[in-house]
Amino acid sequence: MTAPGRLRRRTLLRAAAAGAAAATAGCAGGGRGVQVAVVWSGGELAPFRAVVARYGSPVHVVSAGNDIDAFLRARQLAGTSPDVAILPRPGLVTEYARRGWLSPLTPAPGHGVPDGLAALLDSGGRRYGVWVKAAHKSLFWHLPSALPQPPATWDDLVALTRRLAARARRDGGPAPLAIGAADGWVLTDWFENVLADVAPDGYDALAGPDADWAGRPVRDTLDRLAEIWSVDGAFPGGGRRALLTQYEESIIQVVHTRRAVMAFEGDFADSVVRRFRRGPEEPAAFRFPGSRPGDGPLIVGGDAAVAFAGSRAGVDFVRWLTGADAFAPWLRAGGYLSDTVVPLDRYADPVRRRLAREMRTAGTLRFDLSDRLPGPFTGSDGVGIWRIMQDFFADVTGGVRASEAVRRATRQLAAAARNAGGGR
Amino acid sequence: MSRLPVLGEPVVLDDVGPPRRGRAYPAAGATSALLLPAALLLGGLVLWPVLRTVHASVTSDGRWVGAAHFRAALAAPGTGAVVGRTLLWALLVPAVVTGLGYLLAAASRRSQEGGLVRLILVVPTALPLVVTGVTFRLMYDPDPSRGLATLIAARLTGHTGDAVPQLLGPGLVTVALMSAFVWAWVGLAVLVFRAALDRLPSSLADAVRAYGGGRRHVLWDAQWRPLLLRTVAVVFALVALGTSRTFDLILVMTPGSVRDEASVLALRVWQTSGGTTTGEGAALGVIWLVAVAAGMLVAALFVRQAWPPPRAVDPPEADPASAPPRRPLRLLAAGAAVAWLVPLAVLVATSLHGPVEAAARGWWSAPPSLASYRELVTGGELWRLLAFTLLLATGVTATVLVVALLAAYPLAWLTGPAAQVTGLLLMTAVVVPVQVIAGPVNEVLGVVLSSGTARGLALVHVALGVPFAVLVLRNAFADLPADRVRAARLTGRNWWGTLRRLARQCRPAILAVSVLEFVQVWNDLVVGLLFSGPDAAPLGLFLAGQTRGFVAGSGVLAAGSVIASVLPVVLVVLARRQLVAGLVSGGVR
C-alpha cells in the first residue's frame, strides 16, 4: 500500500477516535466547580440546590440515590470521585475514612451537635464527616378524627390495636396499623424504637464489634414486636399484603384511602402526607409510645457530609455547609430538620419546630442502629437485617408461634452479624 | 449477554457454521490496522476485565486462595435456589416463547389481519425492559382496586381481593416475571419463524402431498426437517441467552420483600459485588460466565449440525395457491393480539391519570387527566434526561458503526477455521454479562479517562455493542455476490473507496445494526446502573429509580414510561422490514 494510503488510514483511525471522543465529550459536564454527590432526590434535591446556589462558586449537585455507596466505590476505583458526598449512614463515613478516601474536617465555629452523634463520624481520633440533616424516626401519623386519643404507652398501643382490629374484623372498619413491610428499613425502624425502649443500655452495644444478637435485649424486643404484629387484622389486607406494601403506600392508606388508622414512620413522611391528604383535615403525628407515659424512645437518622481526599474545594465547601446560615433556604421552605443547634424560631414549618424541640429536650437520642451495622448486615432490598426482619414479620403474621419466630430471627441475626465481621 | 440485542442474533449463530463462498475476498495488504479500534475496545473493556474477574475469583487482596471463594459463594444460603431458578429461566421460558412464536407465526400467515397481529406482537420487543416491568407491576398490583389482574382473579374466584393469590407475592413472583418476559420476547420469535416459513418452498409440500403424505407428513418432511428444526434451535438459544436480561425486570417488578424469591444469578452477582468485583461476587460471576459460554457453544454446535437449509431462490411474496390458516388458528392469532394489547392499554391508561388518582384507585374508576404528564414535563428533569440519552445513543451508534465497519471489512475475507474461530470469539464477547466484569471495567475506565464519566458510560456501551455489529456486518460483506465485490474493487481507488462502495451495497445490514444499537442504548438499564456518573444518568436509570416508591409515583412513572417508549417503538416498527431483511433472513437461510 502506498504512503498516502497509510496516511489516510491513520487519519481515519484518528478521526474514529476523535469521533468517539466528540460523541461522548458532548455528554460530559462543563466547567468544574464543586461536585457534590447526594442521596437525595426529588423533593429533597430541589431545596438543596437552593441551598448551594448561595455558595460562592458553582456547585454541581449529583443525585446518586440509595445506591450512593456503589456509586462512590466505582468512582473511587475509576479515580473520578466527587469533591463532596452526602452519605446516609455513619458506617460509610468511618469505612471510607479507614480506607483513606476522605479528608479530615473541621466544622465552622458554632456547629453544635447533640452528644453521641458527632462521635459516630470519627475515625482514629479525627473527624471525617459533619451532620447536615436529621430525621426524626419515632412518629406515628394519623388523622385526628379517626384517632382522637393517641395511646400514651406501649401497652395502650397494643390494646388499641387489638380493639381496632376486632372492630375491623367485625364490620370491616379501617385496620389499626398500616406498615410498609416491603421496605425492610421500615421494619428495622420499628425494631430500633422498641429496642431503645426495652433495653436502653443494650442499644449501642449492638452496633459494636462484640454485639450479642442472640441475647436478652434482642429477644425481648422481638417478643414485643411479635405481640403487636401478630394481632389478627392489624394490617389492611393482612400480613401477606403488608409485605407487598411500600412505605409511601402505607401512608396513603392512612391519609387518603383511610383503610388504616395509623402508620409509623419518620418526619420525612410528611411529604407523602401533604401530597396525598384528602379533605380539610390536617393529619397529625404522635411520638412512638414507650413503657411509661411521656418517655418514648427517640431514634434519629441523619445525613453526613464528607470531603474526599485531596479536594481542597471540597473541604471548604463542607465547612461552609456547617455555617449557621447555610441551610436557611431549606429551613424557610420547610421539610428540613437539623441536628445542629439551629434556633427554633428559624423553622418555618411548625411540625419540624416541634420535632426539633423534642430532639433537643429528649433525654437520650439514639442513632438509627441498622445504619451503623457493618458490611451487608446493614441491609438493602433482600439483604442483611432488612431481609431478616421481613422473614420475622412474615413468620409472626403467618401464624408461626412467637417463640419459634424469635428463635429463628435471633439465629439469623447472629449469623449475619458474624459474617459481616461484627457480633460474636 | 445482558446486552444481547433484541433482533438479529440468528445471523450471528448461523455464522459459526460452515464457511461461505462470499468469504473469498482477495487479501488487501496490511489491513490488520483496521482491526485496531475494535481490538483495543474488546481487549481493554471485555477480555482484560474477564481475566481480572477470573483472577479476583481465586485471590483475596492479591493472595492465592484457591477455590475458597467458590466454596463460600456456593455455601451461602439460597445459592442453590438461585442457580436452579436461573436454569429454570433458561429452559422453560425459551420453550414457551418458541412454541408460542411458532404457533402465532403460523396462525398469522396469509390472512388479512395477520400483518396487524404481527405489528402488535412486535411492539413489546421494542420497549425498554424497565417499561415492561412497570407495565406488569401495574397490572399485577396486589390491591384489587388498582391491579387489573388481581381484580379479575378476585371476580373469577369469588374471593375477596386480599385472599386472591398474589402474583407479586413470594409464591408466584417468578411466574409473574416470566409472563412479562414472554410478552416482551414472543414478537421476536414470531418474526424469525415467519421469515423461516416464508422461505419454505411450497413445492416441497406439494411433493409430499403428491406422494400421498397427510398433514402430519407435510409438517414433518416439508417443514420441520428442512428448516424448522434449525430455526427452533436458533430461537431457543436466543431466548435462553436473553433470559439473563431478567435483571432489569427483577429490579423493577419485585418489592424488596420478595426479591430473594425472584433472585437469579445476575441479581446475586450484583448484590454481592455491586460496582466492584471481588471474592464471592467474582466467583459467582465466573460460574455464570462459564455457563453462558458453554450454552452458547452448544447452541452453535446444534445450529451447525442442523439440516442445511435450501437457498431461497425467489422471495415467496404472495402465494395465492396457499390457503390462509384454519379458523381456530386465526382466532388464536386475533386473541393473542388482543391479549398483547392489554398491558399496553393498562400502561397508557394509568399514565392518563393524575399522580394522586393513579396511586389511590384503579384507572378504570377515575376520569382521565393529563396531570401526570404535566408534572413530568414541568419537572425539568425529563428534558435533560431525554437530551442526554438521545445524545448518548446517537454518539454510541455512530461510533459502533465506524469501528465495526472497519473491523468487519478485513474479517470478511477470512475463510475456514479462522472465520469460525473469530465468529465464536465475537459471539462469546456478545454474551459476556456486564455485571460480571463491572469492577475491572471501572478500573480500566479510571486509567483511560481522567474525569468525566459520561464518556466512560459511552465507552462501555461502544465496547459492548461492537462485537455484535462486527458479526452482522462481516456476514453482510461476506454475502455480497462476487461480481459486485469485483466491481467495487475495480472502481475504488484504494481500500477506503472499496469499503465505501461495499458498505453502500450492505445498506440493510447497516441500517439494522444502527437501529438495534440505538434502541439498545436507549433502552439500557444495567450499564447505566453500573457505570453512570455525575450528570450522566440515562433515562432507564431514572425510571428504575422512580420505582422505589412504586404506588405513590405510579402516575408519573407510567407517563415517563410512555414517553421513553415512543422513540424505540417508532424506530423498530418503521424499520422492521429492513431489520428482517438485514438480519433475520440471513440467519434462517
Interface test with chain A among B257, B356, B391, B453, by most A beta carbons within 10 Å: B257
Task: Write out pLDDT tens, residues B96-105.
Answer: 999 999 999 9
- A62 interaction partners in chain B (CB closer than 8 Å): 533-535
- The domains of chain B are located at 9-58+85-307+315-588
Amino acid symbol at A398: G
Give φ, ψ of A262 to 5 degrees. Answer: -145, 155
Query: Are A79 and B548 an interchain contact pair (Cβ–Cβ within 8 Å)?
Result: no
The amino acid that residue A326 corresponds to is A
Which residue, among B339, B336, B341, B348, has the nearest Cα to B131 in the 3D structure?
B348
Q: Considering only CB atoms, which chain A residues are within 8 Å of B260?
A: 382, 387
CA A292 and chain centroid, separation: 27
Residue B514 parent element (H or E): helix B507-522
Closest CA to B6 of B235, B294, B348, B299: B235
Distance CA B168, CA B245 (A): 19
Burial class from Cβ neighbours inside 10 Å (0-12, 13-18, 19+) for residue B256 reads buried
Considering only alpha carbons, which residue of chain A is nearest residue B33? A9
For the stretch B525-581, pLDDT in tens is 988 888 876 567 788 988 888 888 899 889 999 999 999 999 999 999 998 877 766
Shared domain check, A262 and A325: no
Over residues A133-165, the pLDDT tens digits come to: 888 999 999 999 999 999 999 999 999 999 999
Is residue A59 within a helix (H) or strand (E), and if so which, with residue range? Answer: strand A59-63
The span from the first CA to the last CA of chain A, in angstroms, equals 72
Q: What is the dihedral of CA B3, B440, B16, B290, to 10 degrees?
A: -100
Q: Cα dihedral angle (B433, B436, B437, B443), rounded to 10 degrees?
A: 150
Q: What is the pLDDT of residue B214?
A: 80
For A77, the closest of B166, B276, B406 (CB atoms) is B276
Last residue of a domain, one of A315, A334, A363: A363
Dihedral (C-alpha) A65, A66, A67, A69: value to the nearest 10 degrees?
A: 100
SS3 state of residue B460: helix
Closest CB to B37: pick one of A13, A29, A238: A13
- Which three cell numbers mark A199? 433495653
Give the end of a domain, one of A342, A363, A384. A363
Q: How far is A249 from B567, CA to CA, in rounded Å?
A: 32
Q: If you count them, how many residues does chain B have?
A: 589
Q: What is the pLDDT of residue A32?
A: 58
- Whether residue A78 and residue B446 make contact (CB cut-off 8 A), yes or no, is yes
Q: What's the CATH number where A214 sits?
A: 3.40.190.10
Cα(A237)–Cα(B512) distance, integer angstroms: 50
Number of Cβ atoms within 10 Å of the Cβ of B156: 9
Ranges of residues in chain A with a pLDDT under 70 are 1-32, 42, 66, 115, 341, 362-363, 422-424
Q: How far apart are CA B302 and CA A288, in angstroms?
A: 64
- Across the interface, whether the CB atoms of A27 and B388 are under 8 A apart is answered yes
Q: Find chain A residues with C-beta within 8 A of B359's C-beta.
A: 248-249, 252, 256, 276
Place of cell 436529621: A134
Specify the CATH number of the domain B9-58+85-307+315-588. 1.10.3720.10
∠ CA B354-B359-B365 to the nearest 5 degrees? 70
Residue type, A355: L
CB–CB contact B275 A16 (8 Å):
no
Neighbours of B265 (CB within 10 A): 28
Contact B302, B232 (CB under 8 A): no
* Residue-range definition of the domain harbouring residue A51: 34-136+300-363
Same domain, A266 and A392: yes
Cell of A423: 457480633
In this complex, the residue of A27, A60, A276 whose CB is nearest that of residue B391 is: A27
CB contact under 8 A, A5 and B495: yes
Residue among A9, A19, A79 whose CB faces B398 most closely:
A19
A152, burial (CB in 10 Å: exposed 0-12, middle 13-18, buried 19+): middle
Contact residues on chain B for A67, CB-CB shorter than 8 A = 274, 529
Distance from C-alpha of A11 to C-alpha of A8, rounded to nearest angstrom: 5
- Find, among B458, B522, B428, B536, the residue nearest to B46 by Cα: B428
Cα torsion B176, B179, B181, B186 to 10°: value is 180
CA gap B283, A9 in Å, rounded: 42
A256/A250 Cα distance (integer angstroms): 10
B15/chain A closest Cα distance in angstroms? 27
Question: What percent of chain B shows pLDDT beyond 90?
Answer: 36
DSSP-derived letter for residue A215 is S
A286 and A188, same domain (yes or no): yes
User: In this structure, are A156 and A256 located in the same domain?
Assistant: yes
Q: Chains A, B: CB contacts under 8 A, how many?
A: 208
B20 pLDDT above the threshold of 60: no
For residue A89 the three cell numbers come to: 449512614
User: Same structural domain for residues A143 and A278?
Assistant: yes
Do A275 and A403 sit in the same domain of this protein? yes
* Per-residue b or e along A228-254, where b marks 16 or more CB atoms closer than 10 Å to that residue's CB: bbbbebbbbbbbbbbbbbbbbbbbbbb
Whether residue A382 is contained in a domain is answered as yes
Q: What's the rounded mean pLDDT across residues B269-292? A: 82
Say whether both A74 and A43 belong to one domain.
yes
Angle between helices B507-522 and B453-478 (to 10 degrees): 150
Angle, helices B453-478 vs A68-78, to 10°: value is 80
More confident residue, B346 or A21: B346
Write the pLDDT tens digit of every residue in B373-397: 998 888 777 888 899 999 999 999 9
Of the CA atoms within 13 Å of residue A150, those in its CB half-sphere come to: 20
CB within 8 A of B104, min separation 6: which ones?
A: B117, B121, B186, B190, B332, B333, B336
Strands A175-178 and A260-264: parallel
Query: Cell 419459634 belongs to which residue?
Result: A404
Same domain, A335 and A279: no
- Based on the fold, state whether residues A345 and A220 are members of the same structural domain: no
A174 shares its domain with A152: yes
Q: How does pLDDT run across B512-524, given as a tens digit for each residue?
A: 899 999 999 999 9
Whole-angstrom Cα distance, residue B575 to residue B568? 10
Question: pTM score > 0.80 for this model?
Answer: yes
pLDDT exceeds cutoff 80 at B510 = yes
Q: Contact B547/B557 with Cβ under 8 angstroms?
A: yes
Q: Which of A184, A208, A189, A204 is nearest to A421 (CA)?
A: A208
pLDDT for B313: 43
* Residue that wins the pLDDT comparison between B88 and B16: B88
pLDDT at B587: 38
Show Cβ contacts of residue B159 under 8 Å, excluding neighbours closer than 6 positions: B153
A382–B271 CB contact, under 8 Å:
yes
Please indicate whether, in this complex, the C-beta atoms of A252 and B30 are within 8 angstroms of each other.
no
B133 confidence band (pLDDT: 50, 70, 90): very high
pLDDT at B34: 84
In the block, residue with C-alpha cell 470521585: A81
Query: And the C-alpha cell for B335?
Result: 386473541
- Displacement of CA B163 from its chain's centroid (Å): 37
**Which chain A residues are closer than 8 Å to B276 by Cβ?**
70, 73-74, 77
pLDDT at B565: 96
> CA–CA distance from B509 to each of A108, A175, B34 (Å)?
63, 61, 20
Residue A294: C-alpha distances to residues A150, B296, B513 (Å): 12, 66, 69
Three cell numbers, residue A380: 438493602
- What is the helix (H) or strand (E) element at residue A131, kind and residue range? strand A130-136
Do residue B455 and residue A79 have CB atoms under 8 angstroms apart? Answer: no
Residue A383, SS3 per DSSP: strand
Among the listed residues A343, A321, A161, A159, the one whose alpha carbon sits nearest the alpha carbon of residue A236: A161
Do A413 and A277 share a domain, yes or no? yes
**Contact between residue B282 and residue B269 where contact means Cβ atoms under 8 Å apart:** no
CA distance A125 to A120: 11
Total number of domains in chain A: 2
**Does any domain span residue A259?**
yes
**Phi-psi map region of A300: left, alpha, beta (phi>0 left; psi -120 to 50 alpha):** beta
| Residue B582 pLDDT greater than 80, yes or no | no
With CA atoms as reference, report the closest residue to B527 among B444, B450, B456.
B456
Output the nine-digit C-alpha cell for A263: 402508620
Radius of gyration of chain A (CA): 24
Task: Kindly list the residues from chain B whose CB atom is less than 8 angstroms away from the CB atom of residue A37.
Answer: 534
Give the closest-approach CA distance of A147 to chain B in angstroms.
22
In the prediction, which pLDDT does A5 show? Answer: 39
pLDDT tens digits, residue range B215-224? 788 777 777 7
